[in-house]
Amino acid sequence: MSTPDLSQMSMLDLFRFEAESQIQQLNASLLQLEHGADPADHLDACMRAGHSLKGAARIVGLDAAVRIAHVLEDCFVLAQQGKLVLGRQHIDVLLRGADLLARIANPPDGDEAWADHAGSAEVAAFMNTLALVMSGGELPSPPAQAVVPEQPAAPQPVAAPVADVREPSGGSMAPGAVRAVRVSAENLDRLLSLSGESLVESRRLKPFSAGMLRMKRMQREAMQALELLQQKLATSNADETAHATLGEVRALMQQSQHLLGDQLNELEAFDRRSVNLSQRLYDEALACRMRPFADGTGGFARMVRDVANTLGKSVRLEISGSATQIDRDILEKLDAPLGHLLRNAVDHGIESPQARIAAGKPEQGLIRLEARHSAGMLLIEVNDDGVGIDLERLRAMVVQRKLSNEETAARLSDAELLEFLLLPSFSLRETVTEISGRGVGLDVVADMLKQVRGTIRITTRPGLGTRFLMQLPLTLSVIRSLLVDINGEPYAFPLAYVNRTLRLHPDQLQILEGYQHFSHEGRQIGLISAHQLLRQGEWRARDDSVCVVVIGDHEHAYGIAVDAFLGERMLVVQPLDPRLGKIPDVLAGALMEDGDPLLILDVADMVRSVEKLTSSGRLEAVHHAGAAQDTGEARKKVLVVDDSLTVRELERKLLSNRGYQVTVAVDGMDGWNAVRTEHFDLVITDIDMPRMDGIELVMLIRGAPSLQSLPVMIVSYKDREEDRQRGLDAGADRYFTKSSFHDESLLQAVADLIGDAAP
């Protein structure tokens, strides 16, 4: 089994990963004890497993798991001291405890609070049972059964969503008929994901083809050099052997060039076939996920009619593009937003019959709902022929609700003003009705678009109606992106949200009203470094130009300075774990052709981040100082020694995010080998570890002449004063308890000992 990328895992994921291995060790050792094996080694293994599980559970806040692991430790301690002989009854209960820890790590339905709610009775029952057997009590025997039951059937899994997939007819079916098969939605998702990866992988042949083409050009230049040499030899007194040798070399070069040309042609043909086949595979897999727009609009006409009748209006819904194919997941997400837009159109947009007749309009209002594909995107439009939006009333409402001052509101363009409608709880209706007035509808629309990387544009014409145009991706699995280099790491901008890429000379940058700008298409566009946005080092020029990605639109367009452009890529989107919450300026993850991970940037979020920096006066200028030069500054190195995977990763992330270079060791022996072979500025170690504990490690460090001045910090779960004094007596500079330290207190202690990451 391949090792997961720990740096990309959340703390809960890390706990589950560690719990799996520790519980496996616990089960194995308990079974060995039950079979009469030497208790010394196996009880030690049980103790380490229970101790690691308790520490890891405390880090991620699973209190029930901490309590269970603690009583397991108590039981093992009594056994080690000879005060408790583990019999079959004890092993039964201890194995139940291991199973319960596994359930807490992977709770039913993914409910992380399961042990505190639905599973609390099970946890309490286990604690009581273990206490009973540890005190020497006997558990009641299960009721005897007169007949041994048959082996129960395997539990039936919860039915997964299925999709009908139409296939070509075969056998005796009538010509033109199709048959349907039921396939789980999860299988279709996996098929699409794999075909998307295949599509990305097929692009890897391009660099090989380009390399062979360069080699062919080099051979042609070598042939030209040989021809020139032969001409010079013809005018000299070179012997026939030299001429013959040169002729042989030329012949070999010609054969090599012909062979390379043939191989290049074959590679290019294979490249075309591979890309074509991968594209067809992806298109077919995508088609299995696609559903006609009509599948998601069946109830809208009736809804519009019912709402209109409730309001005393006559409204007709006209749907176009019913056959337009839409990704199943996107179609499902469209249901609520489209319902809100249509209800708003009936309530806010369409006038009463009397008002329409007075305005010279048909008595019946018209709402158009249309879906179409355009330029590789899905466009959904809701258009009504109603009264339109009163922009001046909207402007006044913005000021009244203190969302902007009068001076700023007066300068807002129509497009900027209409964007206020998308804010949570914003409504032009002053009274709340059963249909509208709470300002929820358009907020739902904006939230859905944010989830699927979509945009919306609102336009209105007084007396003629309002138009909502949503632009969404055709699928959520693959995205065409612009790759850039930021502080030595690749990042991706979704191309759908990139207006332009530019290379600017430093002379084209100017300071206006304290902020850096450049001129583009007759407008002044603000410039900000991607490093400041992402908090990733400092921007450095690689040549005499500044690489800029222009994002946003209208007055909200900005230039993002990056280190370099890396080209365009088709990326298979890897959603981030939802438990991480919203990571600022980051949309999702993906993999490069060589398997390296990268982050896909959230352009809309970046625009908001720029605006926050601008309004707070914290926007920094991009300083160009010629070609980049390596400063040669070495970051300070910290060695983290801990047998708990969860603790190691937590400390590594904390220190790495602060700029320190971090190396990890899995136990005291591993740490001792590390400090003897590498230079470190600080060692952070646990106490209880296999092979060599932390106290022994500290004493060895202090006993080595070359390491006596190396700062050492102990971070342990042992919080008694005698434990702390024992660590300090061994030579530790600082002693922290894992149950009490917070991020900043640990980092501050590190800074106190060795200073900041950069010397």
pLDDT band, very low/low/confident/very high, at 593 (cuts 50, 70, 90): low
Q: Which CATH number characterizes residue 517's domain?
A: 2.40.50.180
Could you give the CA distance from residue 202 to residue 143 in angstroms, rounded to a whole number? 63
* Per-residue confidence (pLDDT) for residue 386, from 0 to 100: 92
* Whether residues 420 and 457 fall in one domain: yes
* Per-residue confidence (pLDDT) for residue 342, from 0 to 100: 92
**Contact criterion met (CB below 8 Å) for 692 and 669:** yes
Q: Using a pLDDT cut of 90, give the percent of the chain over it.
A: 10
* Whether residues 514 and 553 fall in one domain: yes
Could you give the CA distance from residue 213 to residue 271 in angstroms, rounded to a whole number? 14
Angle between helices 39-60 and 63-80 (to 10 degrees): 160
Q: Using a pLDDT cut of 70, give the percent of the chain over it.
A: 84
* Per-residue confidence (pLDDT) for residue 410, from 0 to 100: 85
142 located within any domain: no
178 located within any domain: no
SS3 382: strand
Condensed to tens digits (0 to 9), the pLDDT of residues 371-419 reads: 998 877 889 999 999 999 888 888 888 888 888 788 888 888 888 888 8
Could you give the CA distance from residue 275 to residue 202 in angstroms, rounded to a whole number? 5
* Per-residue confidence (pLDDT) for residue 745, from 0 to 100: 78
* Per-residue confidence (pLDDT) for residue 361, from 0 to 100: 92
560 located within any domain: yes
Q: Which CATH number characterizes residue 52's domain?
A: 1.20.120.160
For residues 349-369, give the mean pLDDT.
92
Tokens 């370099």 appear where?
564
* Whether residues 310 and 215 fall in one domain: no
Closest CA to 334 of 494, 456, 243, 208: 456
Condensed to tens digits (0 to 9), the pLDDT of residues 58-98 reads: 888 888 888 888 888 888 888 888 888 888 788 888 888 88
For residues 519-547, give the mean pLDDT.
78
**Contact criterion met (CB below 8 Å) for 599 and 606:** no
144 located within any domain: no
Condensed to tens digits (0 to 9), the pLDDT of residues 712-746 reads: 999 887 778 888 888 899 999 888 887 665 667 78
Q: Which CATH number characterizes residue 417's domain?
A: 3.30.565.10
* Whether residues 467 and 331 fall in one domain: yes
Structure tokens at 704: 């080595």
Could you give the CA distance from residue 290 to residue 404 in angstroms, rounded to a whole number? 43
Condensed to tens digits (0 to 9), the pLDDT of residues 268-305 reads: 788 888 878 887 887 777 777 788 888 888 778 878 88
**Contact criterion met (CB below 8 Å) for 17 and 645:** yes
Could you give the CA distance from residue 292 to residue 325 in angstroms, rounded to a whole number? 5
Mean of per-residue pLDDT scores for the chain: 79
Residue where one domain finishes, among candidates 615, 648, 667: 615
Structural domains of the chain, count: 5
* Per-residue confidence (pLDDT) for residue 632, from 0 to 100: 46
Contacts of 152 (CB under 8 A, 6+ apart): none
Residue 46 has pLDDT above 60, yes or no: yes
* Whether residues 317 and 391 fall in one domain: yes
* Per-residue confidence (pLDDT) for residue 623, from 0 to 100: 64
For residues 571-576, give the mean pLDDT.
77
Residue 358 has pLDDT above 60, yes or no: yes
* Per-residue confidence (pLDDT) for residue 538, from 0 to 100: 65
Residue 354 has pLDDT above 90, yes or no: yes
Structure tokens at 85: 């002989």
* Per-residue confidence (pLDDT) for residue 351, from 0 to 100: 92
* Per-residue confidence (pLDDT) for residue 437, from 0 to 100: 43
* Per-residue confidence (pLDDT) for residue 230, from 0 to 100: 74
* Whether residues 269 and 413 fall in one domain: no
Condensed to tens digits (0 to 9), the pLDDT of residues 624-654 reads: 544 334 444 567 889 999 888 778 878 887 8
* Whether residues 662 and 748 fall in one domain: yes
626 located within any domain: no
* Whether residues 110 and 230 fall in one domain: no
Structure tokens at 679: 């230079």
* Per-residue confidence (pLDDT) for residue 261, from 0 to 100: 79
* Per-residue confidence (pLDDT) for residue 369, from 0 to 100: 95
* Per-residue confidence (pLDDT) for residue 578, from 0 to 100: 73
pLDDT band, very low/low/confident/very high, at 752 (cuts 50, 70, 90): confident
For residues 573-597, give the mean pLDDT.
76
Condensed to tens digits (0 to 9), the pLDDT of residues 606-627 reads: 888 888 877 766 777 776 544 3
Q: How many other CB atoms are there within 10 angstroms of residue 452's CB atom?
A: 17
* Whether residues 419 and 354 fall in one domain: yes
Opening angle at CA 419, ends 418 and 420, nearest 5: 90
Could you give the CA distance from residue 366 to residue 384 in angstroms, rounded to a whole number? 6
Q: Where in the sequence is the domain holding 444, given as residue range(s)?
A: 302-473
Opening angle at CA 723, ends 721 and 724, nearest 5: 65
Could you give the CA distance from residue 14 to residue 294 in angstroms, rounded to a whole number? 44
For residues 495-502, give the mean pLDDT.
84
Residue 181 has pLDDT above 70, yes or no: no
Condensed to tens digits (0 to 9), the pLDDT of residues 25-44 reads: 888 888 788 877 788 888 88
438 located within any domain: yes
Query: Which of 499 and 758 is assigned the larger pLDDT?
Result: 499
* Whether residues 488 and 417 fall in one domain: no
154 located within any domain: no
564 located within any domain: yes
Query: Which of 152 and 418 is assigned the larger pLDDT?
Result: 418
Cα dist from 697 to 711, 720, 731, 737, whole Å: 13, 20, 10, 18
Q: Which CATH number characterizes residue 709's domain?
A: 3.40.50.2300
* Per-residue confidence (pLDDT) for residue 156, from 0 to 100: 35
* Whether residues 263 and 386 fall in one domain: no
Structure tokens at 234: 């013809």
Residue where one domain finishes, among candidates 473, 494, 509: 473
Residue 574 has pLDDT above 60, yes or no: yes
Residue where one domain finishes, among candidates 134, 167, 191: 134
Could you give the CA distance from residue 191 to residue 385 in angstroms, rounded to a whole number? 43
Condensed to tens digits (0 to 9), the pLDDT of residues 433-475 reads: 545 544 455 777 888 887 777 888 899 998 899 999 998 887 7
* Whether residues 464 and 500 fall in one domain: no
